[in-house]
Structure 1
Amino acid sequence: RLEMEDQAQAIRDLQSEVVMARAQVDELDEARRREREAAEAAEARLSRLRNELASAFRSASDAEAQNAQQASAYNATIAGMERRIEALTAQLRAGGGDAGGAGDAPHLSLSSSARLPGERFGLP
């Protein structure tokens, strides 16, 4: 009878250990689930940040291209203005134009090739 009670107690002890082991497994499963969810959330955030960064780079690149096109158009306009001013200056020097045949007009000289195009008009 004592042996049967010892065996019954051993079975109860083992059952108790199984219950505790199952509880630990459940806790570990829950911890893994939370870690997986946190990793998935971090991956989603990283993906959003990468997309935002790529979009910002595209926008910056587009703006840079647009600025280059505008600068080219401004430079072409300035070059055209300079050619027109030089032609009018030459016309004034030759005596044709509204200067009344004054001939040479040195105060209208635009021969400043050391300056950048547009600089003589106060443009960058």
Structure 2
Amino acid sequence: MDHPLLNAFWMMLWFFLWIMWLFLLFKIVMDIFRSHDMGGWGKAGWLVFVIVLPFLGVLVYLIARGGSMGDRDAQEAARREKAAQDYIRQAAVGGGGGNGAVDQLTKLAELKAKGELTQEEFDRAKAKLLAA
């Protein structure tokens, strides 16, 4: 007896496993190039092994270097997080990109709102800031 639903299930399962393997293959290739503890010949050897014998190469790479692969991922995530935090801190302080002028304009608006600056003084200071 033919079971088309079971055949569809098996086809979807194999397709899902194939997609997972492709994802893993690309992740391994990226890890090979990102690794700083391997020389050029080592990287070339692993890359040829993974490309020529893909299933065996991926399996052997995961067994041999799987643990350090996670460490490199964690280091890269920490580096990116630090870069993002540094950028946010720099943008909040007003460093670069004209943010200093924005801060000064905000201070001028606050002084005008408090009544310490007239409209004329505010307009002149604003024009001077925007011209710079």
Per the shorter chain, which TM-score range? Answer: 0.3 to 0.5
Q: Looking at secondary structure, tell me which structure has more helix per residue.
A: 2
Which one has a bigger Cα radius of gyration? 1
TM-score by length of 2: 0.32
